[in-house]
Chain A
Amino acid sequence: MVDQQHTHDRNSMVWMEKISKKFGTITALQEVDFGVEGGEVRALLGDNGAGKSTLIKILMGVYQPTEGQIYFEGKPVKIGSPREARAVGIEAVYQDLALVNLMSISRNFFLGREMIKSLGPFHWLDTRKMDEICLRSLHDVGIEIRSSSERVGSLSGGERQSIAIGRGIHFGAKVLILDEPTSALSVAETRKVLNYITNARERGLAVIFITHNVHHVYMLADSYTVIRHGKNVGTYSKGDLSEDDIADLITGDREI
């Protein structure tokens, strides 16, 4: 049993302690511990329906835990809504839920954080400034776009991911949550996205990489947390286990 070798405590960047979530009579999560440090990529692994997305939605403020406590930078916090999550620096980069395809890159970049010009009681969008800043700050993290007025829907999956990641870095996110970021991408695009994730880690961000496929994350993650049927299976450091061992833990084919 290698369990809990990689110990976290309440002083991590994020620490979710004994989180339980019930939907009516169904127990989705039962006393799950999960956390991530700054400058670390933590993989959250589990089969479909294991409770990964429920756990992350609790961290994002979409759901409230039935029991348990979240600590952020050592302090107990209550995250009541996605807005509050973002205010403390938790940024989600969901495959389909990060960007609005019908809107331009810069409108997506500043969505919910628009820059405003005012004259008396009138407020309007400072679109020129937003376009400029969007272009420049994406450039700064190594993402080149043709124009910030281009629609997100016309970009490739990898480009979309990178824009969501770049947005998080620009707005000073401390925790990036990536939900299956590479599952629909080509090999070349996956490599680019993994590069951006590495870049975020170098900048000291805590990265949570959610996937059901250990192969997508084995090279990149510093540690792994596996959950199954809403319970912790264990948390392991890089090198503790082989890819196959982890795959077996996800499915429950073999206890280690």
Chain B
Amino acid sequence: MVKMEGLLRAPDTWQNKLRRTFSESTIAGPAAVLLIIFALLSIFVPNFFTFRSITGILNAVTLTGTLTVGVTMLMIGGEFDLSVGSLMAVGGYAYGTLCMAGQPALGLVLGLVIPALLGSLNGLLLVWTGIPSFIVTLGTKYFYRGMLWVVTAGTMLQTIDRLPIYNLFNGRLDVLNNLFKAANFRTALLWLLLLVIVFQFLLVRTRFGNHVFAVGGNPGAALGQGVNVKQIRVLNFVITGALAGFAGILLFSQYYTVRVASGDGLELSAIAAAVVGGTMITGGAGNIWGALVGALIISTLRTGVVLMNIPFIPADNFDAIVGVTIVLAAILNTYLRSRA
């Protein structure tokens, strides 16, 4: 046995651990940003700090938030999905059509399974052809929506029935609403919270999640250590597709209507929310709570801008503020990461 020359390091102190936990966490920065924005708007904007506004902000994140959970998972694994907006419409149609035909349970299943299968097609195209997922899903984004147009003949789906299943996904949470004045808490929020908790657990506490980080961080190393890289990639697309379908189910339960154009553009909102929430666009780092926080930051700003009623920035020009937020968030996240 050769005498080893060890790599001597200072022992770990709690200050060190704390510093590392904060600087390496992808959630600390975005969470701080959300709190600051929320506090500033509460102080300076009249009518912002009311339960009506706050529950409005929360309800507005349920659709984008659900998409963002999947998109974040996928981005941590190093891929993009631009087809989630289209898959959301597909899921909404499948669920809505069957609900209106008196088959809500089947509608729920197909509303999840059809987008999941189309998601797996995204993944398989990626691993078979090696074409970047950005391009693959740019193509399928148009293809899926086009096929939806063909299948539905472009007709809008609308119902006046109020089935109990709609309350399951978007009922009023009267237990909470009765406690607070003008509050409008919805069950969709609980579903989103459940998804965040389940997928965060999946990401950081399971072998699958460990492999997602590895594939996104360094696919070569993941392959070398025996990770089934292709399988992880395809599974991630299946998950993203199923979640997009679920967003469609929430959509129909919320508005009782779905159009072929429903969800168009939300794929970019979801990527924006993921980035604002601290997910690394190059993969390998991120947090599902960040998906929620990122979506909340954007939704909070939107509500703030509407309530501020600024003459030169009408609410329609809210996009300008989203754009600034994305860039600032990316700068902040890069800065925090460089200190890690």
Contacts of A82 in B (CB 8 A): 223-226
Contact: A111 with B222, CB < 8 Å?
Answer: yes
Q: A107-B213, A146-B11 are in contact. List 5 more A-B contacts (CB 8 A).
A: A83-B226, A143-B6, A146-B12, A195-B5, A199-B4
Given A111-B210, A192-B7: A102 and B17 within 8 A (CB)? no
Segment at the B interface, from A13-21, A147-155, A233-241: A147-155
A128 to B65, CA, bound (A): 31
- In angstroms, how far is the closest chain A Cβ from the Cβ of B188? 26
The answer to whether B20 touches A100 (Cβ under 8 A) is no
Q: Is B307 interfacial (CB 8 A cutoff)?
A: no
- The residue of chain A having its C-beta at the shortest distance from the C-beta of B213 within the complex is A103
Known: A82-B226, A94-B224. A101 touches B217 (CB 8 A): yes
Q: Does A196 contact B (CB under 8 A)?
A: yes
Q: How far is the CB of B222 from chain A (nearest CB, A)?
A: 7
B residues less than 8 Å from A97 (CB atoms): 218, 220-221, 223-224
Residue from the list B206, B220, B225 in contact with A112, Cβ < 8 A: B225
- How many residue pairs, one in A and one in B, have C-beta atoms under 8 Å apart? 123
Does A202 touch B at the CB level, under 8 Å?
Answer: yes
Tell me whether A146 and B16 are in contact (CB under 8 A).
yes
Q: Could you list which residues of chain A lie within 8 angstroms of chain B, going by C-beta atoms?
A: 60, 62, 81-83, 86-87, 92, 94, 96-103, 107-108, 111-114, 116, 123-125, 127, 141-147, 149-151, 154, 158-159, 162, 191-192, 195-196, 198-199, 202
B224-256: which residues lie under 8 A (CB-CB) from chain A?
224-228
Say yes or no: B6 contacts A100, CB within 8 Å: no
Q: Are A116 and B207 in contact (CB under 8 A)?
A: yes
Given contacts A100-B213, A107-B213, A111-B227, contact A146 B9 (CB under 8 A): yes
Given the complex, which residues of B lie within 8 Å of A98, measured CB to CB? 221, 224
Nearest neighbor of A192 in chain B, beta-carbon distance? B5
Task: Tell me the smallest distance from the CB of A31 to a CB of chain B, in Å.
Answer: 27
A109 to B227, alpha carbons, bound, how many Å? 13
4 closest A-B pairs (Cβ-Cβ)?
A: A142-B4, A83-B226, A112-B226, A112-B225
Contacts of B220 in A (CB 8 A): 94, 96-97
User: Smallest CB-CB separation from B282: which chain A residue?
Assistant: A102
Chain A residues, Cβ within 8 Å of B228: 83
Distance in Å: Cβ of A223 to nearest Cβ of chain B: 20
Q: Are A124 and B205 in contact (CB under 8 A)?
A: yes
- Contact of B264 with A by CB under 8 A: no
Q: Are B7 and A143 in contact (CB under 8 A)?
A: yes
Inside 8 A of A81's CB, which chain B residues have their CB?
Answer: 226
